[in-house]
Amino acid sequence: MHFKARAGAKLADVKLQTALKKLQGNFVKGRADRITELDNFPEIRDAAAEIRDRALANLDVYLDAFEKNAAARGTVVHWAETHEDVNRIVREIAALHGVRKVVKSKSMVTEECGLNVALEAAGLEVVETDLGEYILQLAQEPPSHIVAPVVHKTRDEVSDLFADKHKAPRLTDIPALCREAREKLRPHFLSADMGVSGANFIIAETGSTLIVTNEGNGRMVTTLPKVHVAITGIEKVVPTLEDVATLIRLLPRHGTGQSITNYVSVTTGPRREGDSDGPEHFHVILVDAGRTKLIGGDFQEMLRCIRCGACMNHCPVYQSVGGHAYGWVYPGPMGSVLTPTYVGLENARDLPNAATLCGQCHVACPVKIPLPELLRKLREQQFERRLKPWPEVLALRAWGWLAARPALYAAVMRFKARLLRAMADERGMIRSLPFGSGWTDRRDFPAPQGRTFREMYKEARSKA
């Protein structure tokens, strides 16, 4: 993974920069406006973090309770240790029920698994039905945001893509494009034998799964096909329906700046006797795939995450480079913590450093995950595991050696302050810094005054 190289390209992408500006306007301002509707927002936020911690503190027992209550309503619960296990289980379920076509609603866990490729390899037709995900499936691109997957694309690009893939006249207005997708996708909902969804929460009390959606595709996917498979991480369990009510006050507000999403759908088991609709078979797959590595250690707080995307919306780095620069499924601050854990710190070297540690992500997080703290811990681990580039390690070692010798340190700093002063031009700026071209290639470096702080402090005290 090379965040640095990709970030450079993304900064130069004019279309992407325009698209990212809109995200700040809508999602950042939207959240700020919507949380003012809650006169006791800080208490609700505390309660949300507490709910997630409560479930995580006894995670195994809560999962067991969920499984028992789900099974009592006829749901088949599967457990997957790896992404490959998820793909295998879905293929087995498809084979069991003679499935040929699969419609999907948005699921980041299935992005982790590469489920679509695995199902297509098994001869199944897979159709993404969230508008953004459908556009990406046509374009054969990964999502760049966990809530607004296609935020990096402009309307013009979508127009070209639809005209090309649908072999239809090129439409340019957004409602017409949405209608075109609706008409293309409606027959798929009606003819699919299996619906695959994620789950924003699973509820221990009732054995239910819950999804929040706006488009209605999530309801189609979980209602119309004869088989419904919900795939979600083991950390998504919450104890009760009351806890759901609290969390739903925060998730849409932080995700899209809505007081509530159009649909909050809670499903419990397959179709009952006397029901006229709903799937005949309901399977839930509980996925580990790296999550247990976060439990019990420095990073357990990360498992509170409810995948709202507020941290990336508020991140100055994400706002500048977009999601693809991060190189894996989860971008932004939450991705910079999750990706190294899931794919290995050695495979995501730049990510813990792809943050300014400004703290906005922590402030915006509805469940109070201390993301800057976690990123700092990952940086420490990188240093301890010698995963930093050698010039950086060497420079830090040299500085550490020097800083432990105060007299020598003061002498070297006195020399450096004067040297840099001598390098300055008439404006007091240095145009080119040896070993510092990364800074001075694009801007000048302000030169120091010529004397160190300690010198000036000493002088001021002797005068006083």
- The verdict on 241 binding another protein (CB under 8 A) reads yes
- The verdict on 17 binding another protein (CB under 8 A) reads no
Q: At a CB cut-off of 8 Å and minimum separation 6, what does 369 contact?
A: 301, 302, 304, 305, 311, 334, 362
Cβ distance 370 to 301 under 8 Å? yes
- The verdict on 264 binding another protein (CB under 8 A) reads yes
Site for another protein in 304-363 (CB under 8 A): none
Q: Alpha helices, DSSP H only, in 97-130? A: 108-113, 115-121
Q: Count residues contacting another protein (CB under 8 A)?
A: 104
Structure tokens at 407: 């007299």
Please provide residue 74's backbone torsions phi and psi, each rounded to the nearest 5 degrees: 90, 10
Please report the sign of the dihedral spanned by the C-alpha atoms of residue 433, residue 437, residue 438, residue 442.
positive
Structure tokens at 217: 């595709």
- Integer Cα distance of 257 and 346 in angstroms: 36
- Integer Cα distance of 218 and 228 in angstroms: 11
Among the listed residues 1, 52, 12, 3, the one whose alpha carbon sits nearest the alpha carbon of residue 442: 12
Beta strands at 227-233 and 125-128: parallel, antiparallel or unpaired: unpaired
Least distance from C-beta 324 to another protein, angstroms? 17
Site for another protein in 33-52 (CB under 8 A): 37-41, 43-44, 47-48, 51
The residue from 242, 346, 380, 425 that contacts another protein (CB under 8 A) is: 242
CB nearer another protein, residue 153 or residue 283:
153
- Integer Cα distance of 327 and 1 in angstroms: 6
The residue from 1, 7, 16, 63 that contacts another protein (CB under 8 A) is: 63
- Integer Cα distance of 324 and 37 in angstroms: 33
- The verdict on 381 binding another protein (CB under 8 A) reads no
CB nearer another protein, residue 204 or residue 338:
204
The residue from 172, 240, 356, 432 that contacts another protein (CB under 8 A) is: 240
Site for another protein in 69-108 (CB under 8 A): 73, 78-81, 85
State the SS3 of 236-299: HEECCHHHHHHHHHHHHHHHHCCCCCCEEEEECCCCCCCCCCCCCEEEEEEECCCHHHHCCCCC
Least distance from C-beta 142 to another protein, angstroms? 15
- The verdict on 62 binding another protein (CB under 8 A) reads yes
| CA distances to 110, 158, 402, 453, 462 from 406, in Å | 55, 62, 8, 14, 20
CB nearer another protein, residue 219 or residue 349:
219
- The verdict on 374 binding another protein (CB under 8 A) reads no
Site for another protein in 173-232 (CB under 8 A): 174-175, 177-179, 182, 185-186, 189-190, 204-206, 208, 214-217, 219-220, 222-224
Q: At a CB cut-off of 8 Å and minimum separation 6, what does 435 contact?
A: none
Site for another protein in 270-309 (CB under 8 A): 270-272, 274-278, 286, 288, 292-293, 295-297
Site for another protein in 113-172 (CB under 8 A): 129-132, 135, 148-151, 153-155, 158
Least distance from C-beta 199 to another protein, angstroms? 14
Least distance from C-beta 317 to another protein, angstroms? 20
- The verdict on 54 binding another protein (CB under 8 A) reads yes
Which residues on adjacent β-strands are paired with residue 283? 76, 229
CB nearer another protein, residue 162 or residue 330:
162
The residue from 7, 19, 338, 371 that contacts another protein (CB under 8 A) is: 19
The residue from 33, 64, 164, 425 that contacts another protein (CB under 8 A) is: 64
Least distance from C-beta 181 to another protein, angstroms? 8
